[in-house]
Structures are given as C-alpha cells and as structure tokens.
Amino acid sequence: MHIRPTPYDHPDAVALEQAVQREYMVRYDSDGDATPLDPKMFVPPHGLYLLVYDAEGRPVASGGWRTQDENEYGYADGDAELKRMYVAPEARGLGLARRVLAALEEDARAAGRTRMVLETGTAQPEAIALYASSGYEPCREKFGHYRHYESSRCFAKPLVQGPIRHPLPDRP
C-alpha cells in the first residue's frame, strides 16, 4: 500500500468521494454529506489530502485535514479538521484508516495546528471506534456543518507535543 498526497479534485480522489457519498446516503438515508468543501482547503500548509493505493495502483482509501480557526461553526483557533476518512470495502481491516489518520495528525502538527477535530455520526460506529482507540475524546460543544443534528458526534485530540519524558536511569 502506498500513501500519497493528492489534490482533492484529482480523478482518483473524486472517485473515492463519490463512493463515500454513496455510503453516507445508505447509512443516513440522506442525499449525502452537504459540508461545503473546496480543493483549495486541502493545499499545504493549510491542509492535506491523502490517497492510499493498493499494489495494483487502485485508490482504496482517503482522508484529509483542513485548517479551521474560531468561527460561527464552533471551531477554535488552531483546529485542524479531519474530512473524508474513507476505506473502500475491499480494503477494510488492513489498518489503512489508522495509518492515514496518523499521517494526517503528524502533518497538521507540523503545520502548527494544535488540535485535530472531527464530526461523524452515530451510523458510523466503526469510525467512532477508530477515533476513540486513537486518543480522541468526545466534545461537549459540537462544531461543524451538522452540529445541530442529534446523530452528530464531535471528537477532538490535542496535537501539541507534551514534555519529553526520559526514563529513569537503572538503579543498582
């Protein structure tokens, strides 16, 4: 598997975007996710969009982050928002989402962002489990396009590096 930075409007990214939208339609009995996204939002250093390609060169997973700062949607200064985390059904269970998530966190941290945030929904228990097991905590105050929906769940994880802890020297 190969993880590559890719423009959000690249044909492979568009194909995975269409796949995730179809999944949202089924899971939420809706028209998909209406969150406004623009390819410019994912251009470094203000964001990043990644695709994962399998050994045959097929795109099988995606994820991105975009800069957010305090605004009317409930974000805070320093936020990096995860968007479009998706793994195609045939590639699930291989740890790809966890690898993409780690790469996005590292990139957002390097860009000076201090907190990674995301909004997901109750119809995506796999996503909620991934984020919980990766150190994300539920947020009391919701944010984002779907913040007023009962099924919306918001999570956050600090990106700042804590103090470096050196192990105690061996004692005789």
pLDDT of residue 166: 43
Q: What's the pLDDT at 32?
A: 86
- Name which of 1, 30, 6, 41 is nearest 124 in CA terms: 30
Residues 6+ apart with CB under 8 A from 111: 44, 45, 46, 67, 80
**Quick one: pLDDT at residue 28?**
93
Spatial contact of 159 and 109, defined as CB atoms under 8 Å apart: yes
**pLDDT tens digits for range 109-160:** 999 999 999 999 999 999 999 999 999 999 999 999 999 999 999 999 999 8
E strands, the chain, in order: 2-5, 47-53, 59-68, 79-87, 115-121, 137-138, 152-158
Could you tell me which residues are beta bridge partners of residue 137? 156
pLDDT of residue 161: 65
How high is the pLDDT of residue 162?
A: 52
Banded pLDDT at 164 (limits 50, 70, 90):
very low
Higher-pLDDT residue of 49 and 32 is 49
Looking only at the bridges linking them, the beta strands covering 137-138 and 152-158 are antiparallel
The predicted pLDDT at position 168 comes to 47
- In this predicted structure, the answer to whether residue 165 has a pLDDT above a threshold of 50 is no
First to last CA, the chain: 47
Cis before 158 (ω within 30): no
Per-residue pLDDT tens digits for 67-86: 999 999 999 999 999 999 99
**Residue among 150, 152, 126, 124 nearest 138 (CA):** 152
What's the rounded Cα separation, in Å, for the pair 171 and 165? 17
For the record, the structure tokens of 168 come out as 């105690």
Q: What percent of the chain has pLDDT over 90?
A: 87
Task: Please name each of the domains of the chain with its CATH number.
Answer: 2-158 (3.40.630.30)
For the chain, what is the mean pLDDT? Answer: 92
pLDDT band at 34 (very low <50, low <70, confident <90, very high): confident
